[in-house]
Chains A and B, each alone.
Chain A
Amino acid sequence: MYAELAGSSIKYPNMKSKFVLILLFLSSIIYGQIEIKGTILEYDGTGKEKVLPDVNIIWLNSSVGTTSNELGEFSIPFNKDYKKLVISYVGYKSDTITVNRPNLGKIRLQPDIELEEVVVRKKLNPIQKSLFNVQNVVTVDSREMLKAACCNLSESFETNPAVDVNISDAVTGAKQIQMLGLNSPYLLFTQENMPSIRGASQIYGLSFIPGSWIESIQITKGAGSVLNGFESISGQINSELVKPLMDQKVFLNMYGNNYERYELNTRYNKVFSDKLATGIYLHANLRDGIIDRNEDNFLDTPLAKQINFMNRWQFLDSEKGWVSFLNTQFLLDEKQTGEKDFDPKTDKFTNNAWGSEVKTTRLDISAKLGYVFPELPFQSFGYQTAFSTHDQDSYYGYNTYNIEHTSYYSNAIFNSIIGSTQHKFKTGLSFNYDHFNERINNMDMDRVDNSVGAFFEYTYDNLEKLSFVAGLRIDNHNRLGSFITPRLHLRYSLWNKASLRLSLGRGKRAANIFAENQQLFASSRALNIINGNGKLYTLNPEIAWNSGIGFIQKLYLWNRSLDISFDYYRTVFTDQVIIDWESPQEIAFYNLDGKSISNSLQVDLNYEIIQNMDLRLTYKNYDVRLDYLSGTLQKPLQPEHRFFGNLSYETLEKYRKRHWRMDFTYHWQGEQRLPNTNTNPSMYQLSETARPYSIINAQLTRVLNERFEIYLGGENITNTTQKKPIIGSDDPFGPYFDSTILFAPVLGEIYYLGFRYKL
Chain B
Amino acid sequence: MFTKLKLSKTILLTAILLMGLQLNAQEKGKDKNKKTTFEVKGNCGMCKSRIEKASIKVKGVKYVNWDIPSKQLTLIMDENKCTTLDVKKAIALVGHDTDSTKADSTTYNSLPPCCKFRDPNSVHMDHGTKH
Contact = CB atoms under 8 A, between A and B. Distances in A.
A227 B59 CA distance: 29
B103 interface: no
B56 A463 contact: yes
A32 interface: no
Given A421-B56, A422-B56, A463-B53, A376 B131 contact: no
B118 interface: no
A419 interface: yes
B53 A421 contact: no
Nearest to B56: A420
Contact of B62 (A419, A463, A464, A497): A419
B64 A421 contact: yes
B62 A378 contact: yes
B61 A420 contact: yes
A377 interface: yes
Contacts of A464: 53
Quick one: which of A376, A420, A463 has the most chain B CB within 10 A? Answer: A420
B93 interface: no
A417 interface: yes
A682 interface: no
Given A463-B56, A496-B131, A417 B63 contact: yes
Nearest to A463: B53
Nearest to B78: A419
B63 A420 contact: yes
Nearest to B76: A376
B101 to A, nearest CB: 21
A378 B33 CA distance: 11
A114 interface: no
A274 interface: no
Contact of B63 (A377, A463, A496, A497): A377
Contact of A376 (B33, B59, B61, B65): B33
Contacts of B35: 375
A206 B65 CA distance: 41
Contacts of B64: 421
Contacts of B65: 377
A421 B57 CA distance: 10
Contacts of B131: 496-497
A754 B49 CA distance: 46
A420 B33 contact: no
Interface in A398-422: 417, 419-422
A419 B62 CA distance: 6
Nearest to B49: A463
A421 B33 contact: no
Nearest to B59: A419
Given A420-B61, A420-B62, A420-B63, A375 B56 contact: no
Interface string B56-86: 1101011111000000000010000000000
A751 B33 CA distance: 62
Contacts of A378: 62-63, 76
23 contacts: A375-B33, A375-B35, A376-B33, A377-B63, A377-B65, A378-B62, A378-B76, A417-B62, A417-B63, A419-B59, A419-B62, A420-B61, A420-B62, A420-B63, A421-B62, A421-B63, A421-B64, A422-B56, A422-B57, A463-B49, A463-B56, A496-B131, A497-B131
Query: 7 tightest CB-CB pairs across the interface, nearest first?
Result: A463-B53, A420-B62, A378-B63, A421-B63, A420-B56, A420-B61, A422-B56
Interface of B: 33, 35, 49, 52-53, 56-57, 59, 61-65, 76, 131
Given A376-B63, A377-B65, A421-B64, 15 more contacts: A375-B33, A375-B35, A376-B33, A378-B62, A378-B63, A378-B76, A417-B62, A419-B59, A420-B56, A420-B63, A421-B56, A421-B63, A463-B52, A463-B56, A496-B131
